[in-house]
Amino acid sequence: MSENTRLAEAQQILRNYINLKRLRNTPERQKILETVYSVNLPFTVDMIWDYLQEEFPVTRVTVYNNLELFFKAGLVIKRSNGNEGVEYEACIQTQTHHNMCCTICNQLFEFKDPTIQLFLSQKKYKKFKMTNCSVMIYGICAKCQAKINREKRKQKIQQK
């Protein structure tokens, strides 16, 4: 999916969501969504706030409130990033990539799997129209796995 269709899809979902919740679609909200969908990496409230300062000054609270609203609307995913706090990531793109999260070091990896992609694109649910979905696989990354194996080997040597 190109950047523009991703954003258009996200804007449509946001419009539906705010109509449903009887909220206002403010210029700030639109600008934050555009920014979120132009970044291709996980980001924090501060990063978006910093980025908008010159062109479109908004308060940190506005950025935070909108990101939380995007999360509820299914437009971004959210995860805790150790000391740095919460990270968000635009997620109307899961048709092309999925995420893996290492439960030990918290690192997020992107991967592509045509089988999952095809499976999801053909999925139909009764009385429910799927507009987007995100796949997050939790596990242990290669680096952490290697560390664990080294520790195990050390322990074995010490036991001998």
Interface ranges with Zn ion (CB under 5 A):
102, 104-105, 141, 144
**CA–CA gap between residue 83 and residue 20 (Å, rounded):** 36
Q: For Zn ion, which is the closer residue by CB, 104 or 133? A: 104
**Helix (H), strand (E) at residue 69:** helix 60-72
C-beta separation of 105 from 141 below 8 A: yes
Q: Which CB, 16 or 103, lies closer to Zn ion?
A: 103
Collapse the DSSP code of 13 into the 3-class scheme (helix H, G, I; strand E, B; otherwise coil) and give the result: helix
Strand boundaries in 48-127, DSSP class E? 76-80, 86-90, 98-102, 108-111
Structure tokens at 81: 């990033």
The least CB distance from residue 133 to Zn ion, in Å, is 25
Pick the closer one to Zn ion by CB: 39 or 101: 101
Query: In the bound complex, what is the minimum distance in angstroms from residue 88's beta carbon to Zn ion?
Result: 20
Q: How far is CA 67 from CA 31, 122, 127, in A?
A: 12, 30, 28
Q: How far is the CB of 50 from Zn ion (least distance, A)?
A: 28
128 or 138: CB nearest Zn ion = 138
Query: Please, what is the minimum distance in Å from the beta carbon of residue 104 to Zn ion?
Result: 5
- Least distance (Å) from Zn ion to the CB of residue 144? 3
Kindly tell me which of 33 and 141 has the beta carbon lying closer to Zn ion.
141
What residues form DSSP beta bridges with 138? 101
Q: Three-class SS of residue 103?
A: coil
